[in-house]
Amino acid sequence: MRRQPLITGTRLSDGRELIYFDDPGSPPRQHMADTRRLTGRAPEGELRYDELSGEWVAVAAHRQSRTHLPPADECPLCPSTPTHASEIPDPDYDVAVFENRFPSLGPGLAELPGSLPWGVAAAAAGRCEVVSFTSDHSGSFADLPYERARTVVEALAHRTAALSSLPGVRQVFPFENRGADIGVTLHHPHGQIYAYPYVTPRASQLGAAARRFYDHADGKATLLGSLLGRERAAGERMVLEGSHFSAFVPFAARWPLEVHLVPHRDAADFTSLTGEEKDELASVYLSLLGAVDALYATPTPYIAAWHQAPLDPLLRPATRFHLQLTSPRRAADKLKYLAGSEAAMGAFITDTTAEQVAERLRAVLGQAGRQPAGPGPAGSRLAGPGPRGNHSGEDEA
């Protein structure tokens, strides 16, 4: 059984929480104090209710002054040095999680009403955290050794549990924005976690469809489980299959590059995964990111969105944890921009077919050296077109 990472908590000089997650077997951390004299927490933003759409909008004007693409020697995610005090006081670390200095939500916590009248705003309750994957400034998640990727998975499970227990939190969303074309403000490999005081519009939409399917199946099947079964049976859009997770390009993919990584059994979030499932998740995720980067001569910009079941009691039983990995890159030198139809109407038009994208990903995965180190999925294999057994219904546990 894999040993757990060593977890050490502390506080930054303005009171924000910082947690180190060191790889198993690391010596106890003698963490350093934050020597900066920060002037206090950022002012809290607002939440405004849009009556036209029935959606919440966060107003965070204080984020205009946040750090933007600093040089490497001024990076806030690199370890502190004698000449530069960063967000990480220690001279080295494996994985670090801390409260965002410029949060969109929080630091206050509160129950949000179902709506607010026009002209009335609420405090932007919730929490925003930064997850730094490594102390190395260069590279990306795909470059992490297996053991480090596995520590990140454990950190995301730990933070999901902690944030889900906070007063007023209704949804916990870990994600990574990678690449300047996505709009990142820091080059250092990192992700974020948002703890929302409401269920987001996309999660509400997906949750409603999942609940309808769940009710029609008398609570015996989930929509995403059924879709995974159908994709595995068809085969032409499958990318890889493991013992616990499989990845496919969805039939109605919206983005030029879109892959869903889905567990074979119903799991609500990171905290619901077993140790073996976390082991495989770290391995297949590294494989998937390696394939995405191998499609072109330069690194591919992407958004890794970890969809977790909302804490809403109606939506949670019907919603299955999964990764949605998307990129706007439609060719080596072309990006897809959301213009009139997509941005204004939410009606997506894609320039590629799901089958072509899946075939390209399978091809690069099949090349030598694309499989990551680590225990990984012992029974994993590249997927391929054509029926491969009976996976047409809900997947096996």
Task: Please name which of 244, 152, 138, 224 lies closest in space to residue 186, comparing C-alpha atoms.
Answer: 138
Helix 201-216 × helix 223-234 angle, to 10° = 80
- What's the token pair of residue 89? 């006081």
112 and 168 Cβ atoms separated by less than 8 Å: yes
Q: Encoding tokens for residue 66?
A: 């946040």
Cβ burial of 395 (10 Å; 0-12, 13-18, 19+) is buried
The answer to whether 305 touches 259, Cβ cutoff 8 Å, is no
Between the alpha carbon of residue 195 and those of residues 67, 154, 208, the distances in Å are 22, 18, 20
Which residues are designated catalytic? 190
Contact 18, 9 (CB under 8 A): yes
Buried b (16+ CB within 10 A) or exposed e, 176-213: bbbbeeeebebbbbbbbbbbbbbbbeebbebbeebbeb
Neighbour tally for 387: CB within 10 Å: 12
Burial tier of 305 (Cβ tally within 10 Å: 0-12, 13-18, 19+)? middle
CA distance 375 to 384: 23
Q: Are 150 and 88 in contact (CB under 8 A)?
A: no
DSSP-derived secondary structure for 361-390: HHHHHTSTT-SPSSS--TT-EE--SS--SS
User: From CA 253, how far away is CA 179, in angstroms rounded?
Assistant: 21
